[in-house]
Amino acid sequence: MNFWETPVGWTILTVAHILAVTVVLLLTIAFIIYGDRKIFAGVQARKGPNVVGPFGLLQSFADLGKFLIKELVIPAGADKAVYLLAPIISVTLALGAWAVMPIAPGWMVSDINVGILYLFAVSSMGVYGIIMGGWASNSKYPFLGSLRSAAQMVSYEVSIGFVIITVILIAGSMNLTDITEAQAGWLINWNMFGGSKEGTLNNLPLILIMFPMGVIFFISGLAETNRPPFDLPEAESELVAGYAVEYGSTPYMLFYLAETANIVLMSGLMAVLFLGGWHAPWPEGYLAAWPAWLASLHGLVFYALKTFFVFFMNAMVRSIVPRYRYDQLMRLGWKVFLPTSLVAVFAVAGWLVYTGLPG
């Protein structure tokens, strides 16, 4: 038997795969933060980070060093164990969600058949870290911020769930790899444009439903990750810094890392569910003649481009759109997105039944 097929070999390969994905993800997050600050600065006609390293590219690493060497101050009245555990839970869940993300053909830690349910479970638990952080700080501002965050995340998870159900109906699977493969072909075969099967236009009328669903998913992702204009849990004018008021040094950095990892996750998930994942916007028959590693690299490039495009749109919304009031935020989630996405589920299901498609 080949050594890599034994339990020990499999364990070594899996751990190496997890470490590789984690390291690449952390480096990506470092430059995503830099890009976010540069975009924000560009919109405001500023230069942004431009001192540390060429063009300021090493700014995130300088910030990391600053956070690591700062003194860790824990409030006297805080529950120390919960106070320190909260950011660890947040960042662990944020990075753990990437285990099922199909980054490129064959490039994922775990290709499970219920990848969507895994993501739902992990993202739903993420709110515990925020609530624990707000409660353990023994201060009213952090506690109010954590409660706001919990209500906001629960509210928008409902509409995100219904939007994802429309994608599951079209793809006929909860496996993220199968959902990606179902979008092979031209750009019109992506779920954002109806999700027609390759070489056909059988679902073209669904573009009237799926394009708005993609927009709702994008906006709900902003609210789910507490991203402006929905950053009410940390509204500076009301709650100072929300659930992170009493945090500094490394624990604060972990909260910030978890939030940014979730933002990148939502961008990558939109690329998978609506924008064809690792597929190019044209037929890829030419990949059959390529070596497997080169075909995977081809997919990785397109997945990264789509993820960065969604993040760029995310950053532009942050830079341009003013913050919502809390009642506007909740009204949008419960009175607009929830009924719209629920109707969309019935409409997509009705179309698939009417046309006799297997989905």
Question: Residues 17, 148: one domain?
Answer: no
Backbone phi, psi, residue 285, to 5°: -60, -30
Among 207, 292, 2, 244, CA closest to 130: 244
Whole-angstrom CA distances from 124 to 24, 157, 262, 265, 336 are: 24, 8, 12, 14, 22
- CA 44, 45, 50, 54 torsion: positive or negative? positive
Domain-terminating residue out of 69, 94, 118: 69
Here the contacts of 289-298 (C-beta below 8 Å, separation 24 or greater) are 292/105, 292/106, 295/105, 296/104, 296/105, 296/106, 296/107, 297/104
Question: Residues 62, 85: one domain?
Answer: no
Domain range for 38 is: 1-69
Instruction: Inform me whether the pLDDT recorded for 357 exceeds 70.
Output: no
pLDDT band at 319 (very low <50, low <70, confident <90, very high): confident
Question: Residues 14, 139: one domain?
Answer: no
Question: Residues 32, 111: one domain?
Answer: no
Question: Residues 140, 215: one domain?
Answer: yes
Structure tokens at 212: 């708005």
End-to-end CA distance of the chain: 40
Structure tokens at 229: 């204009």
What's the structural domain count of the chain?
A: 2
pLDDT band at 237 (very low <50, low <70, confident <90, very high): low
Torsion angle defined by CA atoms of residues 133, 266, 310 and 98, in that order, rounded to the nearest 10 degrees:
110
Contact between 127 and 149 under an 8 Å Cβ cutoff? The reply is yes
Residues 166-180 have pLDDT tens digits of 999 988 888 899 899
pLDDT band at 359 (very low <50, low <70, confident <90, very high): very low
Question: Residues 128, 246: one domain?
Answer: yes
Contact between 279 and 187 under an 8 Å Cβ cutoff? The reply is no
Rounded-to-integer distance, Cα 313 and Cα 319, Å = 10
Residues 95-149 have pLDDT tens digits of 988 989 988 887 888 888 888 989 888 888 888 888 888 888 888 888 888 888 8
Question: Residues 91, 40: one domain?
Answer: no
Q: Tell me, what's the pLDDT at 239?
A: 56
Question: Residues 254, 317: one domain?
Answer: yes
Q: Does residue 302 belong to any structural domain of this protein?
A: yes
pLDDT band at 238 (very low <50, low <70, confident <90, very high): low
% of the chain with per-residue pLDDT over 70 = 96
Question: Residues 39, 97: one domain?
Answer: no
Question: Residues 111, 8: one domain?
Answer: no
Q: Does residue 6 belong to any structural domain of this protein?
A: yes
Mean pLDDT of all residues belonging to the chain: 86
Please give the angle made by the CA atoms of 114, 117 and 123, to the nearest 5 degrees: 140
Q: Does residue 35 belong to any structural domain of this protein?
A: yes
Residues 12-61 have pLDDT tens digits of 888 888 888 889 889 999 999 999 899 989 888 888 888 888 888 888 89
pLDDT band at 1 (very low <50, low <70, confident <90, very high): low
Question: Residues 85, 36: one domain?
Answer: no
Domain-terminating residue out of 49, 69, 89: 69
Please give the angle made by the CA atoms of 121, 270 and 38, to the nearest 5 degrees: 110
Q: Does residue 75 belong to any structural domain of this protein?
A: no
Rounded-to-integer distance, Cα 167 and Cα 173, Å = 9
Among 196, 185, 200, CA closest to 287: 185
Among 53, 55, 54, 62, CA closest to 30: 62
% of the chain with per-residue pLDDT over 90 = 24
Instruction: Inform me whether the pLDDT recorded for 300 exceeds 60.
Output: yes
Question: Residues 157, 43: one domain?
Answer: no
Give the pLDDT mean for 328-341. Answer: 90
